[in-house]
Chain A
Amino acid sequence: QVQLQQWGGGLLTPSETLSLTCGVSGGSLTGYYWSWIRQSSEKGLEWIGEINHSGGRNYFPSLQRRVTMSVDTSKNQFSLTLTSVTAADTSVYFCVRQRGEEGFDIWGQGTRVTVSS
């Protein structure tokens, strides 16, 4: 049973960099894309981007200039970095496994990120 455990985030001040990591247990990174999705009451669910085991990446265009995703196959984990955060980045962030045209089938527990001065 594949499970995702995420960590990082918390309280940030504007202009800081958000860093989140997601560890995959019970399975491999290979063969899937791994996404980050965030959820806020203002914007609802918002896809941030995806990465596969070999580093292939796709980012949501409106966030592209601030987002970097990376993967560490030796640790079976992947990460998100979001620079220059503002209050608009306040959300619950989820790491998620994506099964191509079959949807997002496994979700992490979510991490609340608050950006406030």
Chain B
Amino acid sequence: QSVLTQPPSVSGAPGQRVTISCTGAITNIGTGYEVHWYQQLPGTAPKLLISANTNRPSGVPGRFSGSKSGTSASLVITGLQAEDEADYYCQSYDNNVRGWVFGGGTKLTVL
């Protein structure tokens, strides 16, 4: 049971928009800790996709965007492409756990 809750899977057709949610609590996202998003392609290490809620590291396409509100955060992918098929994870800090925590991950399928 992950501290941050994500849907196990989402899907969309090429060109569509998908949203992946990350639900936390007052002890993590709700306290004001930043939320980061990672993309993991099969057999590879996670890659930082969105930093500090909304920032795209250099090289990340503009079709990826992030937001945060209250105790939740969201990753939005617009103009879906086949290469976006991957697992996506959110991450933040939790005061109860006293450490960095991750969501359980969301598998994105491009139809």
Q: How far is the CA of A61 from the CA of B52 in the complex (A)?
A: 24
Q: CB within 8 Å of A: which of B23-51?
A: 33-34, 36, 38, 45-48, 51
Q: How far is the CA of A103 from the CA of B2 in the complex (A)?
A: 18
Which residues of chain B are within 8 angstroms of A7 by Cβ–Cβ distance? Answer: none
Q: Which of B36, B52, B99 is in CB contact (< 8 Å) with A58? A: B99
Q: CB within 8 Å of B: which of A64-117?
A: 94, 99, 101-105, 107-110
Contact of B21 with A by CB under 8 A: no
Interface size on B, residues (CB 8 A): 24
Q: CB within 8 Å of A: which of B58-111?
A: 89, 91, 97-105
Residue contact B2 to A107, C-beta cutoff 8 Å = no
Q: How far is the CA of A45 from the CA of B3 in the complex (A)?
A: 11
**A40 CB, min distance to chain B CBs, angstroms:** 12
Residue contact B97 to A101, C-beta cutoff 8 Å = no
Residue contact B102 to A46, C-beta cutoff 8 Å = yes
Residue contact A101 to B99, C-beta cutoff 8 Å = no
Residue contact B99 to A47, C-beta cutoff 8 Å = yes
